[in-house]
Structure 1
Amino acid sequence: MILVLRALGVGDLATAVPALRALRAGHPGEELVLAAPAWLGPLVELVGGVDRLLPTDDLGPPPWPVPPSAGRSSHGAPPWSGPAPEVAVNLHGRGPRSHLMLAGAGRLVAFRCPPAGHADGPDWDDDEHEVDRWCRLLDWYGIPADRTDLALRRPPPGRLPAGVTVVHPGSKVEAKRWPADRFAVLARRLADRGHRVVVTGSAGERELAARVAAGAGLPPSAVLAGRTDLGELAALVAAARLVVSGDTGVGHLATAYRVPSVLLFGPVPPARWGPPADRPWHRVLWAAGEDCAAAPGVGTASGWAALPVDRVLAAVDEAEETVRV
């Protein structure tokens, strides 16, 4: 068994797709098991090649306690039961806790972490792109990975409309949220241009999505936040005309399905989490970058809020023009 730990969110899973595909190709006869939250199951199916999802929900949010098998006093446990895996791959972090969660496996593929007793592996680089990070890790262990292999399987058409423009104002990280009133103005102006706008989000973001839709003059039926599971959200994005979102999972779905997108980055540079730079139909605006260099307070909350709607609309035009050419 090859056990891979990636117990995070949508964007984290999407950026790990090339590494997961490389592990599948490098171990064709082995069972490939992904330790991740159960709610990611529909997206894991769209990655393909994963034989089994091992839910990490009972572990609680990281950082996790160190398991007794790692030689520390703790009430934790490894994310598997029964025989230890032949190979464990840490696509979760640099350690030591995530490394020690996998202690007991026959072999650990992970970044170098002497505090966890793991002197093997390459050194961590804070500044590299998340996709490149995990491809480099596997390359170091002799498993070639293709960083361009980002596509997800296309879900079958469902109950949701096709050809819509997806506006996603939320993020689990508050600092990554462009102001809701600006999203509302943007959605209204997109609708005035003939876009069929829907507003997505998690169940916890339904009030935010409703506020954006109301400010845009959209009907309540345009609010899909909390009304889709992850598989339905992927299907919605796969068949969309356009996606506008912050630095969050929906943007990675647009990348996976090659759907034109405008992604708004605030505190985190797109060089670490953005779409491939060679795809002009994905446009990135970074509040700390040159696109907003004239805005006051760049790099701060006020600079993030100062990202103008007109600049976002211009990026929409640029993204859609690449599709028409």
Structure 2
Amino acid sequence: MILVLRALGVGDLATAVPALRALRAGHPGEELVLAAPAWLGPLVELVGGVDRLLPTDDLGPPPWSGPPPEVAVNLHGRGPRSHRMLAGAGRLVAFRCPPAGHRDGPDWDDDEHEVDRWCRLLHWYGIPADRTDLALRRPPAGRLPAGVTVVHPGSKVEAKRWPADRFAALARRLADRGHRVVVTGSTGERELAAGVAAGAGLPRSAVLAGRTDLGELAALVAAARLVVSGDTGVGHLATAYRVPSVLLFGPVPPARWGPPADRPWHRVLWAPGEDCPAAPGVGTASGWAALPVDRVLAAVDEAEETVRV
């Protein structure tokens, strides 16, 4: 068995897809098990190649209950906690971390793109990985509409949220242009999504926050006309399905988490702000003031124009 640790969220799983595919191709006869949160199950199915999901929500005791895996792959972080969690495996594929007793593997690079990071790790261990292999399987259409413009104002990290009133103004102007706008989000973001929809003059039926599971959200994005979101999982779904998108980054630089630079239908706007004292090199939310609605609308036009050409 090959156990892969990635106990994080939607964007984290999406950026690990090339590495997961490389592990599948490199070990076709082995059982590939992913240790990740159970709620990611619908998305894991769309990755393909993973034989089993081992529900794992934190970096606690080893996630296996029987014999340890022959190989454990740490796609979660740099250690030491994640390394120690996997320490009982026969072999650990991970970044070098002497505090965890792991002196094998390449050195960590803070400034590396998340996709490149895990591909480089596997290359170091002799497993070739293709960083462009980001596509997810297309889910069934289901009950949700196709051809809509998805506006996703939320994020688990408050500093990553473009102001809600600007999302509302953007949604209103998109609707005035003929876009069928829906507002998505998690169950905890229903109030935020409802406020954005109300500010945009959209009907209550346009608020899908908390009304879709992860598989349905993926289907909605896969069939969408356009996605506008912050630096969060929905943006990574747009990348996976090659759906035109405008992604609003702030404070984390898009060089670490953004879509491939060679895809002009994904437009990235970055509002870095000032350096955050707690995390040098990462901006604060103050940069949002420099990102007006008109600039986002211009990026929408640019993204859509690339599709028409």
TM range (shorter): over 0.9
- Find the aligned partners of 1:298 and 1:185 in 2 and give their Cα distance: 27
Give, in whole Å, the separation in 2 of the partners of 1:110 and 1:243.
Answer: 34
Contact persistence 1:285–1:291 (CA under 8 A): no
| Structure 1 residues 36-93: Cα deviation after superposition (integer angstroms, max 9, x where no partner) | 0000000000000000000013767999xxxxxxxxxxxxxxxx11010000000000
CA deviations over 1:130-183 (Å, ceiling 9, x no partner):
000000000000000000000000001100000000000000000000000000
Contact 1:200-1:223 at 8 Å conserved across structures: yes
**Distance change in 2, residues 1:306/1:297 (3 Å):** farther
Distance 1:58 1:324, change over 3 A: closer
Q: Unmatched 5+ residue regions in structure 1? A: 64-79
Q: Distance in 2 between matches of 1:293 and 1:285?
A: 23
The percentage of counterpart residues that share the same residue type is: 96
- CA displacement 1:276-320 (0-9 Å, x = unmatched): 000000000001299999999995433213310000000000000
The residue aligned with 2:214 is 230
Number of paired residues? Answer: 309
Contact 2:146–2:223 (CA under 8 A) maintained in structure 1 = yes
SS at match of 1:243: strand
- Structure 1 distance, partners of 2:280, 2:78, is 36
Gaps of 5+ in 2: none
CA RMSD of aligned residues (A): 3.5
Q: Distance in 2 between matches of 1:297 and 1:119?
A: 27
Does structure 1 conserve the Cα–Cα contact (< 8 Å) formed by 2:250 and 2:273? no
Please give the alpha-carbon distance, in whole angstroms, between the structure 2 residues aligned to 1:173 and 1:293: 17
Show CA shifts across 1:188-238 (max 9, x none): 000000000000000000000000000000000000000000000000000
- Structure 1 match to 2:19: 19
- Match of 2:228, SS state, is strand
Distance 1:305 1:27 in 2: 49
- For 1:302 and 1:258, the matched residues in 2 are separated by 30
Cα distance in structure 2, aligned partners of 1:210 and 1:296? 35
User: Aligned equivalents of 2:186 and 2:213: distance in 1?
Assistant: 9
Residues 152 and 178 (structure 1), Cα distance of their counterparts in 2 relative to 1, 3 Å cut: same
Question: 1:132 and 1:59, CA in 2 relative to 1: closer, same or farther beyond 3 A?
Answer: closer
The TM-score normalised by the length of structure 2 is 0.95
Deviation at 1:254, TM superposition (A): 0.1
The answer on whether the counterparts of 1:296 and 1:306 sit within 8 Å (CA) in structure 2 is no
- Give the 4+ runs in structure 1 shifted more than 4 A: 58-63, 289-300
User: Contact 1:8 / 1:36 at 8 angstroms: preserved in 2?
Assistant: yes
Q: Aligned pair in 2 of structure 1 residues 295, 122: CA closer, same or farther (>3 Å)? A: closer
* Contact map agreement 1:178 1:305 (CA 8 A) in 2: no
Checking the alignment, whether the CA contact within 8 Å between 2:182 and 2:207 is kept in structure 1 is yes
